[in-house]
Amino acid sequence: MPAAPLLACLLHFADETDAARRLGLAAQLPAKMIDRHRFPDGELKLRLPVDGAGRLPPHVVLLRSLHDPNEKLIELLLAARAARTLGTDHITLVAPYMAYMRQDIAFMPGEVVGQQVVGGFLAGLVDAVITVDPHLHRVATLQEAIALPQAIVLSGAEPLADLIALRRPGALLVGPDGESTQWIVQAAARHRFDYAVGTKVRHGDHDVAIELPPLQAQGRAVVLLDDVASTGRTLAQTARLLRAAGAASVDVAVTHALFAGDALQTLYDAGVGEVWSTDCIPHASNAVPMAEPLARALRSLLPARCL
């Protein structure tokens, strides 16, 4: 008997082969790589992994974490538009890290609001999006940024809390600023951690001032928790304050390990002991896998016959 036609598959690029393998196993989807060639002038040529008849399954999952996003957005444009012509009628983008979400308002005349532009671009390419802890400010839901009925947000706070409970039982959780409150509250509730949240005044990308509320850090293990670490300056300044307040140890747990430039060394110089992150962005600090939560979200979107 001929093999049953493939109804769904997971497409990925070579640099995310390991992540695709983990997600494919967890979601019970075959992972297939998109061939990518760069011309001398910088243009890209992609070749999608079609079957013997030159077709793709009706349901395609595109895995692309959008750190260093600019070229990856062009890859998504090429891959998604081509998939539509090759038999695919439903595309789910799995972007563990979602770029261009932080800028949701124009502060000066003529300033481009990246969230609106990129959100609209993605909404025109795919049918569903799954991401983890998008960096939203004044926008309350991902659907407001990416206008799709199926826009699923997962969080790294609870799996990070589970890790903290193993590594630093009874820790005091601290968020560096008000934006971290949602993750701090979620993580603290899971294991009944004590917690506190600081306030931040930002004077520039590398110039921030942190104030901590009254807290009992003396002799305690403290874990700084946030959704993303980029320059590391905010976390580093908070760590110094906690050390000065007598904390026995200060560690850092983040969902997204961007760690631009010397960010990681900046944290260590500030007295941070260990740094833990999810694997949404590949980094040496990865300690929490997200394949299973992502797979559960995927299974909620795919028809039962595809699983």
Query: Which sequence positions are flagged as catalytic?
Result: 200
C-alpha separations of 53 from 30, 33, 94 in Å: 18, 18, 26
Whether 117 contacts 140, CB under 8 Å: no
Closest alpha carbon to 115 in 94, 91, 144: 144
Distance of CA 218 to the CA centre of its chain: 33
HSE toward the beta carbon, residue 290, CA cutoff 13 A: 31
C-alpha separations of 94 from 30, 150, 258, 285 in Å: 15, 12, 18, 22
Torsion, Cα 56 59 61 62, to 10 degrees, reads: 50
Question: Using CA atoms, how far apart are residues 194 and 15, in angstroms rounded to an integer?
Answer: 39
180: left (phi over 0), alpha (psi -120 to 50) or beta: alpha
State whether residue 50 is helix, strand or coil: coil
